[in-house]
Structure 1
Amino acid sequence: MLGSKKSLITSNAVVKRLSAYPSGFVQSITYDNGPENARHLKINEKLGCLSYFCLPYHSWEKGAVEQVNGLIRRYLPKGTDFSMVTEKQIQDIERDLNTRPKKCLGYRTPIEIYNELYGALPD
């Protein structure tokens, strides 16, 4: 959990989290237009990826993100006090979503695809 939505804190957290993956794994990141994403070019530089921004109120431009957000809301409904959500709870949600078969992956799980392409998923 981030203690602030300041762009420096957000960008450092994104880089820390995504740099655990193999070089070239992160190809692009789609952002909303919040000020917390102002350092997206620094993230690109560190991760070797591209930035994309959606137009305000154009949720269909990031359909996959919105679909996953809907799944996350099953665990953390609107109004959830995120200061009460533990790192363990977040890890459990990640595990559940990454072990869920997806039609677009031929009913395989994201972890199966990752392991096939890159080997064991980082901790």
Structure 2
Amino acid sequence: MTMSYKQLIEGQRYQIQAYLSQHLSYREIGRRYRKGSRAKRVIIPNRIGIEERPEIVETKQCFGDWEVDTVLGKQGTGAIVSLVERKSKMYLIPKVPKKSAEDVCRAVGAMLWRYLRHLHTITTDNGTEFCAHESIAQKLKTDVYFANPYASWERGLNENYNGLLRQYIPKGTDLRTVTDEEIEKVQRSLNLRPRKCLGYRQPAVVFDELRSAA
């Protein structure tokens, strides 16, 4: 008797189930199935979504709107906080010992404090390292907005620069071996790289001009 396609599939499924039952306990099967099946939900207190951000920020015509993210080193070796100003494309990359809300809040505050007079908004992602966003907003007297989950294009400039950063500091790098002087050198190199979107001008030059004019 010829076996139908449906019977063949059912037979293969039965063989797989029998193999799993023989080699794995029920608890192990359940644990393996659940692993990664649900993304860990991050609850950020008093989060303000990007839909409430002023529409003019999207045009990139105003000076003083920043995007913020973190770039991780090898597990447990720290992180780099990446900040980019949307109009000038100026890029700042302080290194922090760990990806904690406290360290990230301190780094963002230290880097943007000097530009406080021109600071209007900050847009970030939904990582737990930004749970202290209210402290950042209060310290810098600005508004912090969160992009939608899994919508990296809403911080596209930041994502683009993080890709450029990886040309200098590849994924998996032990950041303990990267000095602050090396970080500053990379930052300077990226800010002196002519950008097509700026008419092949340098972000550092455009940034200084906009600061002087504001």
Which band: TM-score by shorter chain?
Answer: 0.7 to 0.9
Structure 1 unaligned segments of length 5 or more: list them: none
- Name the aligned partner's letter for residue 185 of structure 2: D
TM-score, L = length of structure 2: 0.51
Question: What is the CA distance between 1:7 and its match in structure 2?
Answer: 1.4
- Name the aligned partner's letter for residue 13 of structure 1: A
- Name the aligned partner's letter for residue 23 of structure 1: R
Question: What is the CA distance between 1:22 and its match in structure 2?
Answer: 4.6
Who is 1:9 aligned against? Answer: 103
TM-score, L = length of structure 1: 0.85
Who is 1:52 aligned against? Answer: 145
Of 145, 162, 172 in structure 2, the residue corresponding to residue 69 of structure 1 is: 162
Alignment of 1:104 with 2:177, yes or no, is no
Tell whether the 8 Å contact from 2:116 to 2:140 is kept in structure 1 after alignment. no
Displaced runs of 4+ in structure 1, greater than 4 A? Answer: none
Structure 2 unaligned segments of length 5 or more: list them: 1-94
Which is further off, 81-90 or 4-13?
4-13
Distance 1:66 1:50 in 2: 21
Higher RCO, 1 vs 2 (CA within 8 Å, ≥6 residues apart): 2
Specify which structure has the higher proportion of strand.
Answer: 2
- Name the aligned partner's letter for residue 15 of structure 1: G
Question: What percent of counterpart residues are identical?
Answer: 43
Tell whether the 8 Å contact from 2:124 to 2:155 is kept in structure 1 after alignment. no
Give the secondary-structure state (helix, strand or coil) at the position aligned to 1:96.
Answer: helix
Give the secondary-structure state (helix, strand or coil) at the position aligned to 2:114.
Answer: coil
